[in-house]
Amino acid sequence: MQQTNLADKPMTERTVVAHGRRVGKKKQSARQRRGQLVLVGGGIGLYLGLFFEPLREPSLSLMLELAFLIAVVMTFLRWLRGERPPLAGLLRYGVMSFVKFGFVLAALEGRHLAYDVGGRLAVIVMTTFLGVVAGVWTARSDFG
């Protein structure tokens, strides 16, 4: 009897196993995967909204500095992996990383403003909405 290790299978293809043998393959459609990404994004946004407590003033400079630092580190790690794209490709990757992380950090800093305007409910609605937007963005970049 052969053991099937489901961890070796790609996420979009799962093998259904009954009594130690392969019964059939269940593939996850692109539409299901998109929906899953949107739900995960919304769930993460909901979590970040539910447990938010404003402990400091929002800082635009801190957000920009962190986004820049993360973009530099991500670009350097890509260069270290040996991919060695042309300089223009590396710069494009760095700029896109800065934009993506800047969006995430701006959303996190925006929770302070939402809390001031509408309290906890406004923070929950804002972060859930932005989580869904991030899920859609990820799905679009993964599936074209």
Segment 18-41 shows an average pLDDT of 75
In a domain, 99, yes or no: yes
**Which position has the higher pLDDT, 99 or 29?**
99
Alpha helices in the chain (DSSP H): 30-50, 60-80, 87-143
Q: Give the Cα separation of 137 and 132 in Å (integer).
A: 9
Note if the pTM is more than 0.85.
Answer: no
- In sign, the C-alpha dihedral spanning 81, 85, 87, 92 is negative
Segment 89-105 shows an average pLDDT of 88
Nearest to 135 by CA among 54, 53, 59, 43: 43
In a domain, 89, yes or no: yes
In a domain, 7, yes or no: no
In a domain, 21, yes or no: no
> Residue 97's domain spans which residues?
30-143
Q: Give the Cα separation of 25 and 77 in Å (integer).
A: 36
